[in-house]
Structure 1
Amino acid sequence: MSQSPSTPLIENHTVDYVPPAERHGRARDLFTLWFSTNIAPLPVVTGAMVVQVYHLDLLWGLLAIVLGHVLGGVGIALASAQGPQLGIPQMVQSRGQFGRYGALLIVFFTALIYVGFFISNIVLAGESIHGIAPSIPLPAGILLGALGATAIGVIGYRFIHTLNRIGTWVMGGALLAGFAYIFGHELPADFFTRGGFNLSGFLATLCLGIIWQISFSPYTSDYSRYLPASIGIAKPFFATFFGAVLGTSLSFSFGAVAVLATPEGTEAMAAVKQATGVFGPALMVLFLLNIISHNALNLYGAVLSIVTSIQTFASTWTPSVRLRVVLSSVVLGGSCLVALSASANFISQFIGLILTLLLVLVPWASINLIDFYLIKRGRYDIASIFRADGGIYGRVNPHAITAYFIGILVQLPFANTALYVGPYANYLSGVDLSWLAGLLVTCPLYYCLATRGQSSEGVQGVLGLAE
């Protein structure tokens, strides 16, 4: 698609509504975004856990991987399909469910998660750069990785989609070449028999795939909001679903295959390099580039969340491109200070903290999807979302807040995280079923509260999308 004045390279919107005249793009851009984004070291290492931690064999491991991501992919796809219909970021849309000030709670948690993953990924990028080119000190590698991600995040939406269109062919082709190399050479005698079926391992892998997909929900529609509303629901749903499910399933499976193709106990990324032979060094470089590209999404989401928080208290303020650059620089500087002073096991500790915070995302995702698809059916008053008093949505929606906190509380007994282990967490050998409790309670609870509390005036007040 050629460059035009209406689709500038550097994005000129932040958290404001994207008018119909500025909509552009195609549904398949969502496929390439979520496919390419998920072909990265973290999902590969996580996939290796299926064999190394959960002790499943190849057949049962692949079945659990695919099934988990298929189930979780429904959630991320439903969230993505909201973007073209509303033309606003996901966190701003939450004001239509939680109220103008009520949405601040989830915005805060989301910003914290984004920044956490941004820091973890710049540390990982720095380690990768140092490993590929030992002459580059680790601190310099961290700075290079951070600056690369920041440059992409500042340019914004259009450039992120462009990079991932390219990345789909490059990373997808590289991963397929890796699979071909592994299966084209002699496999260990226990390749198909190492491990076996165990219920706890199967369920843990299944849950891992579901939680993985849910974790993307708070910013999914940020990357579909520029698409024309006429594109409908089905096209963005299926493009996101197949991109996310195929990308993550391939990466998880690649991690499992790589560790099975090497001696038992080999570290995951070392196994990838060893199992892929001559392709190994090239794969490491490509993974590095994808870490930087993917990390731009974390920075982009963090900045949008921060801007959303500020604008909550200044309804007439329209953030500028310059402010987005300034906030990106602030996040960059603070993240680099944390990353440069990080301990050797910083990534595992920080990821543990972030995964604990995912407990707050399950109830939010439940409320978001129930509200959009069953309560308001995609009809939101955009003008009210940006009004100082919250318009028809008010400052705080007690029904959403009540369902949200109850949804968090019911998860705690079943949670199995680095920071907290619930009393029933070991019911199935440590499988974290907290997300399931959150979904089963929050969805019907919010639906009942919202429909019982819906006055005829409120229903009539939802006038549809603002033009």
Structure 2
Amino acid sequence: MPQMSRQDPLIENHTVDYVPLAERHGKARDLFTLWFSTNIAPLPIVTGAMVAQVFHLNLMWGLLAIALGHMLGGIVIALASAQGPRMGIPQMVQSRGQFGRYGALLIVFFAALIYIGFFISNIVLAGKSIVGIVPSVPVPASILIGALSATAIGVIGYRFIHSLNRIGTWVMGGALLAGFIYIFAHDLPADFLSRGGFNLAGWLATVSLGVIWQISFSPYTSDYSRYLPADIGITRPFIATYLGATLGTILSFAFGLVAALATPEGTEAMVAVKQATGWLGPILMVLFLLNIISHNALNLYGAVLSIITSIQTFASHWTPSIKVRVVLSGVVLIGCCLVALGASANFISQFIGLILALLLVLVPWASINLIDFYIIKRGHYDIASIFQADGGIYGRFNLHAIVAYFIGILVQLPFANTSLYVGPYANLVEGADLSWLVGLVVTCPLYYCLATRQKTQESRAVKLGYTD
């Protein structure tokens, strides 16, 4: 099994091209540390606090909904991650094997938009965190510090991102454990266990939030597993990613819920964390800031790879170099900083609302991706065709995938409950967005029927001598 040698460069050489077998390195456990550490951050903690503050669940029902939602959604991210070692290419490039060379462009565009949205939101959050720790630092300077730090990590690339998260797993995991111990070692409010209760709407909303949270990572999970040795198989990357992604998020959501219940009702989430953890609070804030920056590097890395994929679609003989990735990282950095510096006070909540609305387009993509890889093609793709100008055996457009994709979006709209659009049946279960479930239930069998029908027709044509 090839391992990383001492001569291998720190800065990643590959962009969207295939990673040769001789350059594969790493172990499946690297995926556990990456996704565990990434998800111990303020955003999942704030979201976890919503379980008590917005959905009004008590501790027991809240923890159950959190665990179930992330355990269900974690299946999607783990299945997507396990594709990386077999394919050796980024997730968005792989979509050409399902949608065709040009058909995949729309998916790549949406993915880039989501990455950039999260990158901007996180540099605003990082800027506010720096000001909270060191009030003398101006907000614009704080935003720039957060953005430049994340960009430096993203430019160095794959190997450094994994190294940081190996360290982060122990540091952030230990810090969160210390936070739990501190809270439970001190007096808790009399209503800690009884505040809230069970309500179906809040419980389903929490489960849905967990599922959507995990699916949102699926467009770039295999970007961080594509360097693993090809003979590592499917099972080990799946288990490592699943355990890392679900345990990290469940612990963070649970921490937010516990902190919210351990402080007076109505306390803002991060203020609740500070109050509930006493002297440990400022230390946690610093660690959370560092993790925001580290996690945000993934968003920049994914955005740049998506942009390069889009450009390379029209220039099949072009193999982008590390210089191109550096230049594009700088362009994205400047554009995002300009937006962040002009952001309004409620920018993060507005932008997160937009991103969650865009997740409507990810559910049918994830459905098609998983059905195609695991059931239709069973992991066997022609890598050369994926990079050919005419799409090779996958063509420029795969109408079956495109039709299934758009139908998968349309069937969700009546049930959507987002900041941009609320469907006529959005409140069948008040407060719970169940559109993702409709998308999965419709898109998976639809694409399977269309894809297998196409395969049957091609086989018949070959037998009758109608094709070469």
**TM-score normalised by structure 2 residue count:** 0.97
Give 2:254's aligned residue.
253
Determine if the alignment matches structure 1 residue 106 to structure 2 residue 107: yes
User: Which residue identity lines up with residue 103 of structure 1 in the other structure?
Assistant: A
Give 1:4's aligned residue.
6
* Contact persistence 2:4–2:24 (CA under 8 A): no
1:30-86 per-position Cα deviation (integer Å, ceiling 9, x unaligned): 000000000000000000000000000000000000011000000000000000000
TM-aligned CA deviation for residue 455 of structure 1: 4.9
Determine if the alignment matches structure 1 residue 419 to structure 2 residue 414: no
CA distance in 1, matches of 2:246, 2:227: 23
Where does 1:286-297 land on structure 2 (aligned, <5 Å)?
Answer: 286-297=287-298
Give 1:62's aligned residue.
63
1:290-344 per-position Cα deviation (integer Å, ceiling 9, x unaligned): 0000000000000000000000000000000000000000000000000001111
TM-aligned CA deviation for residue 460 of structure 1: 12
Percent identity between matched residues is 81
CA distance in 1, matches of 2:5, 2:59: 46
Where does 1:385-464 land on structure 2 (aligned, <5 Å)?
Answer: 385-455=386-456
Aligned to 1:250, what secondary structure does the other structure show?
Answer: helix
* Contact persistence 2:4–2:23 (CA under 8 A): no
* Contact persistence 1:392–1:458 (CA under 8 A): no
CA distance in 2, matches of 1:3, 1:429: 55
CA distance in 2, matches of 1:24, 1:415: 42
TM-aligned CA deviation for residue 454 of structure 1: 1.3
TM-aligned CA deviation for residue 3 of structure 1: 4.9
TM-aligned CA deviation for residue 4 of structure 1: 2.3
* Contact persistence 1:3–1:9 (CA under 8 A): no
CA distance in 1, matches of 2:186, 2:460: 64
Give 1:266's aligned residue.
267
CA distance in 2, matches of 1:52, 1:409: 32
Aligned to 2:107, what secondary structure does the other structure show?
Answer: helix
Aligned residue pair count: 460
User: Which residue identity lines up with residue 215 of structure 1 in the other structure?
Assistant: S
TM-aligned CA deviation for residue 179 of structure 1: 0.0
Task: Give structure 1 regions of 4+ aligned residues with deviation exceeding 2 angstroms.
Answer: 1-5, 455-461
* Contact persistence 2:98–2:372 (CA under 8 A): yes
CA distance in 1, matches of 2:87, 2:397: 21
Give 2:136's aligned residue.
135
CA distance in 2, matches of 1:457, 1:315: 27
Distance 1:460 1:390, change over 3 A: farther
1:411-432 per-position Cα deviation (integer Å, ceiling 9, x unaligned): 0000000010000011111210
User: Which residue identity lines up with residue 345 of structure 1 in the other structure?
Assistant: N
CA distance in 2, matches of 1:455, 1:8: 47
Give 2:117's aligned residue.
116
User: Which residue identity lines up with residue 12 of structure 1 in the other structure?
Assistant: N
CA distance in 1, matches of 2:23, 2:412: 42
Distance 1:197 1:316, change over 3 A: same
Give 1:49's aligned residue.
50
Determine if the alignment matches structure 1 residue 81 to structure 2 residue 82: yes
Determine if the alignment matches structure 1 residue 330 to structure 2 residue 331: yes
CA distance in 1, matches of 2:422, 2:308: 34
User: Which residue identity lines up with residue 84 of structure 2 in the other structure?
Assistant: G
Aligned to 2:291, what secondary structure does the other structure show?
Answer: helix
CA distance in 1, matches of 2:220, 2:84: 10
1:121-155 per-position Cα deviation (integer Å, ceiling 9, x unaligned): 00000000011000100000000000000000000
User: Which residue identity lines up with residue 307 of structure 1 in the other structure?
Assistant: I
Give 1:28's aligned residue.
29
CA distance in 2, matches of 1:460, 1:343: 59
* Contact persistence 2:201–2:429 (CA under 8 A): yes
Aligned to 1:377, what secondary structure does the other structure show?
Answer: coil
CA distance in 1, matches of 2:15, 2:42: 30
Give 1:464's aligned residue.
none
Where does 1:340-351 land on structure 2 (aligned, <5 Å)?
Answer: 340-351=341-352
Aligned to 1:453, what secondary structure does the other structure show?
Answer: helix
* Contact persistence 2:48–2:256 (CA under 8 A): yes
CA distance in 2, matches of 1:361, 1:112: 12
> Which ranges in structure 1 are unaligned for 5 or more consecutive residues?
462-467
User: Which residue identity lines up with residue 328 of structure 2 in the other structure?
Assistant: L
Aligned to 1:454, what secondary structure does the other structure show?
Answer: helix
Where does 1:169-184 land on structure 2 (aligned, <5 Å)?
Answer: 169-184=170-185
> Which ranges in structure 2 are unaligned for 5 or more consecutive residues?
463-468
Give 2:147's aligned residue.
146
* Contact persistence 2:37–2:168 (CA under 8 A): yes
Where does 1:134-213 land on structure 2 (aligned, <5 Å)?
Answer: 134-213=135-214
CA RMSD after TM alignment: 1.3
1:387-419 per-position Cα deviation (integer Å, ceiling 9, x unaligned): 000000000000000000000000000000001
* Contact persistence 2:95–2:369 (CA under 8 A): yes
CA distance in 2, matches of 1:11, 1:438: 37
**TM-score normalised by structure 1 residue count:** 0.97
User: Which residue identity lines up with residue 384 of structure 1 in the other structure?
Assistant: S
CA distance in 2, matches of 1:437, 1:97: 21
TM-aligned CA deviation for residue 457 of structure 1: 5.3
